Amino acid sequence: MIYFDAAATTLQKPAAVRAAVERAVNTMSSPGRGSYRATVLAEETAYRCRCAAAALFGMEDESCVVFTHNATHGLNIAIAGLVKPGGRVVITGYEHNAVLRPLYAIPDVELTVLDTPLFRPEKMLEEFRAALDAGVDVAVCSHVSNVFGAVAPMEEMAALCRRAGVPLVVDASQSAGVLDVKMDALQAAFIAMPGHKGLYGPQGTGLLLCNHETKPLLYGGTGSLSRLRQMPPTLPDRLESGTHNMPGIAGLLEGIGYVRRMGTARIARHERAVARTAAEELRKIEGVHVFYRNDEGYGTGVVSFIADGYDCQTLAEAMGRRGVAVRAGLHCAPLAHRSAGTEKTGTVRLSASAFNTNQQAVQFAQILREIVRN
């Protein structure tokens, strides 16, 4: 199989991740719930994972690294904690439903959506500045579009938020493990990310980096301060009720270790190179339209495309039958497709990980060429 769906889940994981998951299933109990070896081992593993994440993402205090089930879970905590009914929120035109639906669920939220064309970060910044000047209470922005790989000028946007005193929530679903995501540089209120994409952890893992007060989304046992009727006041327990996903966390620890050893810059370079090869090959095929910009600061390892006369789902199915894994449709991001003008057609998306090769990108284009030729 040629797997090009890393933007959904990185299927190929470092061997250490798989081994850690299996080891945890066999040896780890509930962290923070006892004194025997299996619970202490779980506790130590969870703590090491927090420390590794804190080091990778520029967090001074590892207690503010909160485990979530995925990025959606973290975004729900952040948004529900910051956005009040009737609140004014600015978002980019490339948000995923993980941002949109939690916002739609809050009554009377006044949304300002940046109307930026694809791969125009300088225009996005200009529109963002204007939105802040007009007055907003919260900003929620994805760092990288999951459909097009377009990179938002997050450092500059974060600086504008700091100046305006507007809390910023960063959806780092597509940037964590690939781009520089640093809390100490961004000083965002929250940064949410999945563990199963660029961090190479298992599904069911995620991180919420906290730099702002919030309220819990789930209430329950934490193994601490049990007589309190409320959730504990301190992180991470305040936001982590119920038993932890220890196999997931143990795997995530190894995934983060892999990213730290490789370095995000090297991973990004590799993924861009693969995507660039794919985009160049795809552009040679008549009737194929490619949405991609490969220079640093604009795009990542994601290439979206459409083919004249082909429904994108049908095309992805045909590729699937030939052993190529891609995702087609609206990618849970209808707004992004509206911004790019592909709302009616959707796109087929290729997304690379550190485990893909240029050769696979060439093969991918060859297979597509055969499909559209017949």
Per CB under 8 A, residues contacting other proteins are: 31-32, 34-35, 40, 43-44, 46-47, 50-51, 61-63, 222-228, 232-237
Please report how close the Cβ of residue 239 comes to other proteins at its closest, in angstroms: 11
Residue 364 tokens, joined:
């991918």
Would you say 149 or 195 has its CB closer to other proteins? 195
Q: Check residue 105 and report its DSSP letter.
A: T
Cβ-contact 94, 53 below 8 angstroms: no
**CA–CA gap between residue 162 and residue 351 (Å, rounded):** 32
Please report how close the Cβ of residue 62 comes to other proteins at its closest, in angstroms: 6
**CA–CA gap between residue 345 and residue 347 (Å, rounded):** 6
Please report how close the Cβ of residue 90 comes to other proteins at its closest, in angstroms: 33
Position 283: which residue type? R
Among 221, 219, 191, 220, CA closest to 206: 191
Cβ-contact 208, 263 below 8 angstroms: no
Would you say 32 or 255 has its CB closer to other proteins? 32
Q: Check residue 120 and report its DSSP letter.
A: -
Would you say 60 or 296 has its CB closer to other proteins? 60
Residue 284 tokens, joined:
């040679």
Position 17: which residue type? V
**CA–CA gap between residue 172 and residue 367 (Å, rounded):** 32
Please report how close the Cβ of residue 16 comes to other proteins at its closest, in angstroms: 22
Please report how close the Cβ of residue 56 comes to other proteins at its closest, in angstroms: 17
Q: Which residue has the tokens 């990980």?
A: 353
Other C-beta atoms within 10 Å of 273: how many? 17
Would you say 222 or 264 has its CB closer to other proteins? 222
Would you say 90 or 235 has its CB closer to other proteins? 235
Please report how close the Cβ of residue 199 comes to other proteins at its closest, in angstroms: 19
Would you say 46 or 131 has its CB closer to other proteins? 46
